[in-house]
């Protein structure tokens, strides 16, 4: 359902941040991308929905070449790709319910979006998803009154209300404590397994990637240096992925 070929991205002419990226995801897979800080994980994720413009290469999602789409056509494809952010990206003065409904903007005309006109079905869907994530009782609370873990569940609900085929999660647990992290990862795994939504998640924690993923991709300096099953992630592979950063960690 997603096929990336020969993807390059450089922010300046000198050094590419991503080089020769090749990867494929199947429908319903749970795949993690791991790698040291600056390896290009966020850039890769954001190239997929063109929040960042790739420099070269092909990204075929759901049989559509994403890189050559016009702005209007891209909007339609983006609606099928949900995104979850490390810092949630919620409007803190609005309620949980309002934030979740923002996930429907991709399906609306600009005017209906500005006026926040949503159908009864859309409102029902938002409440059902909040219920699934254990957040229905908070629906009419302002988002600035929530804990980090609760905010992230709202972020996931906003992505799910898009009824996406693919969920891109950019370090969704990097700002959370271990208990909240587990709740979020369990929800993402369940969404993948029960709804058949493909989940691609950037993670800093190797143990979490091993526990939850069907497959792991290791990035170092913008290149894929590992791709395999969690059980294939040997100490050598971890060394390849983390390189000198791993040595720094051991010294500490
Ligand atoms: N807008 C930008 N302009 C210039 N360089 C950028 C920009 N965004 C990212 N970079 C650079 O691209 C490289 C990859 O950054 P990216 O955020 O994709 O890595 P990452 O693996 O997600 O890192 P982290 O785990 O710290 O978030 C870094 O060297 C970063 O400084």
Residue 16 DSSP SS3: strand
For residues 203-219, give the mean pLDDT. 97
Rg (CA), the chain: 18
Following CA atoms 143, 149, 153, 154 in sequence, which dihedral angle do they give, to the nearest 10 degrees? Answer: 10
How many angstroms separate the alpha carbon of residue 34 from the centre of ligand 1? 14
User: For ligand 1, is residue 34 a contact (CB within 6 Å)?
Assistant: no
User: For ligand 1, is residue 39 a contact (CB within 6 Å)?
Assistant: yes
* ipTM of the complex model: 0.96
Q: What is the CB neighbour count within 10 angstroms for residue 140?
A: 9
CA gap 41, 90 in Å, rounded:
22
CA angle 147, 148, 149 (to 5 degrees): 95
Residue 197 structure tokens: 């939504």
pLDDT score at 252: 43
User: For ligand 1, is residue 11 a contact (CB within 6 Å)?
Assistant: yes
CA angle 164, 197, 206 (to 5 degrees): 115
pLDDT score at 251: 45
User: For ligand 1, is residue 17 a contact (CB within 6 Å)?
Assistant: yes
Q: Which of 19, 38, 53 to mutate to test the pocket of ligand 1 (most atoms within 8 A of CB)?
A: 38
CA gap 197, 105 in Å, rounded:
20
User: For ligand 1, is residue 172 a contact (CB within 6 Å)?
Assistant: no
Relative to the CA of 43, which ligand 1 atom is closest? 18
Residue 54 DSSP SS3: coil
User: For ligand 1, is residue 150 a contact (CB within 6 Å)?
Assistant: no
Residue 109 pLDDT exceeds 90? no
Residue 34 pLDDT exceeds 60? yes
User: For ligand 1, is residue 208 a contact (CB within 6 Å)?
Assistant: no
CA gap 188, 14 in Å, rounded:
37
**226 with 216: CB under 8 angstroms?**
yes
For residues 39-44, give the mean pLDDT. 98
For residues 142-169, give the mean pLDDT. 98
Residue 222 DSSP SS3: coil
Nearest CA to ligand 1 atom 7: 11
How many angstroms separate the alpha carbon of residue 119 from the centre of ligand 1? 39
Letter string b/e over residues 40-67, b meaning 16 or more CB atoms within 10 A of that residue's CB: bbbbbbbbbbbebebbebebebeeeebb
Residue 231 structure tokens: 């059980």
**66 with 168: CB under 8 angstroms?**
no
Residue 184 pLDDT exceeds 80? yes
pLDDT, tens digit, for every residue of 44-78?
Answer: 999 999 999 999 999 999 999 999 999 999 999 99
- pTM of this structure: 0.94
User: For ligand 1, is residue 21 a contact (CB within 6 Å)?
Assistant: no
């Amino acid at each position: 359902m997603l096929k990336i070929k020969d993807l390059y991205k450089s922010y300046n002419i000198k050094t590419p941040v991503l080089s020769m990226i090749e990867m494929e995801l199947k429908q319903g897979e749970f795949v993690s991308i791991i790698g040291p800080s600056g390896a290009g994980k966020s850039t890769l994720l954001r190239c997929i929905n063109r929040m960042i413009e790739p420099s070269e290469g092909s990204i075929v999602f759901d049989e559509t070449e994403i890189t050559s789409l016009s702005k209007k056509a891209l909007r339609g494809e983006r609606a099928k790709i949900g995104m979850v952010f490390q810092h949630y990206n919620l409007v803190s003065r609005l309620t949980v319910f309002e934030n979740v409904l923002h996930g429907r903007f991709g399906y609306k005309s600009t005017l209906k979006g500005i006026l926040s006109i949503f159908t009864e079905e859309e409102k029902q869907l938002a409440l059902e998803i909040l219920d699934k994530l254990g957040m229905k009782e908070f629906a009419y609370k302002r988002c600035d009154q929530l804990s980090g873990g609760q905010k992230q569940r709202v972020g996931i609900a906003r992505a799910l209300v898009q009824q996406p085929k693919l969920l891109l999660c950019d370090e969704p647990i990097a700002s959370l404590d271990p208990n909240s992290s587990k709740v979020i990862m369990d929800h993402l795994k369940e969404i993948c397994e029960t709804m058949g939504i493909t989940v691609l998640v950037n993670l800093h924690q190797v143990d979490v990637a091993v526990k939850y993923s069907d497959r792991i991709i290791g990035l170092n300096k913008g290149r894929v240096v590992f791709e395999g099953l969690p059980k294939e992630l040997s100490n050598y592979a971890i060394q390849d992925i983390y390189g000198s950063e791993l040595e720094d960690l051991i010294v500490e």
